[in-house]
Amino acid sequence: MNIAKPAIPSFQPPRRTLMGPGPSDVPQRILDAMARPTIGHLDPAFTDMMEQTKALLRYAFQTENKLTFPVSGPGSVGMETCFVNLVEPGDKVIVCVNGVFGGRMLENVKRCGGVPVAVEDTWGSPVDPAKVESAFVANPDARILAFVHAETSTGAQSDGAALAAIARKHGALSIMDCVTSLGGTPVMIDAWSIDAAYSGSQKCLSCTPGLSPVTFGERALEKVKARKSPVQSWFMDLNLVLGYWSGEGKRTYHHTAPINPLYGLHEALVMLAEEGIENAWARHRANHEALKAGIEALGMRFVVNATARLPQLNSVYIPEGIDDALARGRLLSEFDLEIGAGLGVLAGKIWRIGLMGYSAKPANVEYCLKALTAVTKG
């Protein structure tokens, strides 16, 4: 039997303004970089670019960690890379849960055979350092503290420096999720003494999805080298990946890296360095303040208290009488504007409005407020 040939034309995506929880708008400069000729993943020119990317990522993470590189996969793969390498069966891990992504950390600990100890806070609130301290006192054998710096499901930012200090005080390593914070608000790996962290390419770096920058400090690497059991994932085993990304001597084949997406990440990081990271943080804050003024003028309330509110991820309660799906559908169909829905316990109750990377600009703020006014007041 012959299978009929499908009459499907080339895909032409619509032009959207992306102001949800990610991905963010990708500037043409990065799209152009991704369209450059593909070369081999062991080509000397490509390996030179890999070294440049690592140096640029150290700047973004504000670290001197040698082991700083992009994992071939989305932020979830970066998360798993941290957990499968650092958590051995039987390790007790204190996990801070104040939203969806803290819950995913908890699940990773379980799948690694670790013993999770959950420290829970209300969704929309930052992690309470006092609760973490109490958890370590009650569990002096805890080996790792895992927390989300910028909880994408709520827009709450926790105190990374304070939490890492508690972990170090009790002789534990720290794993920090900074998927939504890297490039948008201060992430200070060395100053905060963070042992391992992971992020994503598609948020405040304004690259396409599919790459996860990670960084590991010396204490974390010592833990990996001292493992009594093999890393459960072949693909994410740092002992193997380092042969490709280390840059020391001859590189060994591990996997075929996503060549063109890495061009895009390299360009995104060059743009971040050109702007200056402090300027990028200030730009996100300034556009948040403009959006905040307009949101409050519309009578809408923020989910997160101002002291813990992420400028790049603005969660607001849906106005009374407004149908969530219908309103977001109108934003997409009438304005080509994407904002995010609530997740988990906040599903149907909030909207998540992103001001990330290239999307964090005055024109987008004005356009978003105009569209929100139409669907909530019209």
CATH of the domain at 292: 3.90.1150.10
Q: Is 3 part of any domain?
A: no
Asked if residue 149 lies in contact with residue 188, where contact means CB atoms within 8 angstroms, the answer is no
* Residue whose structure tokens are 């989910």: 303
- Token reading at 352: 């998540």
Same-domain check for residues 120 and 76:
yes
Same-domain check for residues 232 and 269:
yes
Residues paired with 373 in a beta bridge: none
Q: Is 148 part of any domain?
A: yes
Same-domain check for residues 373 and 224:
no
Provide the number of structural domains found in the chain.
2
Same-domain check for residues 368 and 258:
no
Same-domain check for residues 225 and 300:
no
Residue-level pLDDT at 244? 80
Q: Is 336 buried (19+), middle (13-18) or exposed (0-12) by CB count in 10 A?
A: middle
Find, among 274, 263, 283, 297, the residue nearest to 370 by Cα. 297
Angle, helices 259-275 vs 44-61, to 10°: value is 40
Instruction: Name every residue whose Cβ is closer than 8 Å to that of residue 43 and which is 6 or more positions away in sequence.
Output: none
Residue 346 has phi, psi (to 5 degrees) of -100, 5
Same-domain check for residues 49 and 160:
yes
Q: Is 10 part of any domain?
A: no
Q: Is 6 part of any domain?
A: no
* Residue whose structure tokens are 């200030």: 282
Same-domain check for residues 323 and 233:
no
Q: Is 4 part of any domain?
A: no
Q: Find the angle CA(159)-CA(179)-CA(51) to the nearest 5 degrees.
A: 115
Alpha helices in the chain (DSSP H): 28-34, 44-61, 75-86, 100-111, 129-138, 160-169, 189-192, 218-225, 238-245, 259-275, 277-297, 324-335, 362-377
Low pLDDT (below 70) residues in the chain: 247-250
Asked if residue 82 lies in contact with residue 296, where contact means CB atoms within 8 angstroms, the answer is no
Q: Is 98 part of any domain?
A: yes
The count of other CB atoms within 10 Å of the CB of residue 306 is 7
Report the number of secondary-structure helices (H) and strands (E) in the chain: 13, 14
Give dist(CA 264, CA 223) in Å, integer.
Answer: 32
Q: Is 12 part of any domain?
A: no
- Token reading at 205: 């770096």
The residue from 273, 308, 335 where one domain ends is 273
Same-domain check for residues 243 and 357:
no
Give dist(CA 237, CA 230) in Å, integer.
Answer: 8
Same-domain check for residues 133 and 165:
yes
- Token reading at 228: 């009594």
Same-domain check for residues 86 and 193:
yes
Same-domain check for residues 200 and 102:
yes
Residue 202's domain comprises: 29-273
The count of other CB atoms within 10 Å of the CB of residue 335 is 17
Residues paired with 97 in a beta bridge: 120
CATH of the domain at 176: 3.40.640.10
Question: pTM score, two decimals?
Answer: 0.96
Same-domain check for residues 206 and 263:
yes
Give dist(CA 284, CA 253) in Å, integer.
Answer: 39
Residue-level pLDDT at 93? 98
Residue-level pLDDT at 233? 94
Residue-level pLDDT at 16? 97
Instruction: Name every residue whose Cβ is closer than 8 Å to that of residue 186 and which is 6 or more positions away in sequence.
Output: 62, 281
Query: What tens digit of pLDDT does each residue of 235-267 get?
Result: 999 988 887 887 655 677 788 889 999 999 999
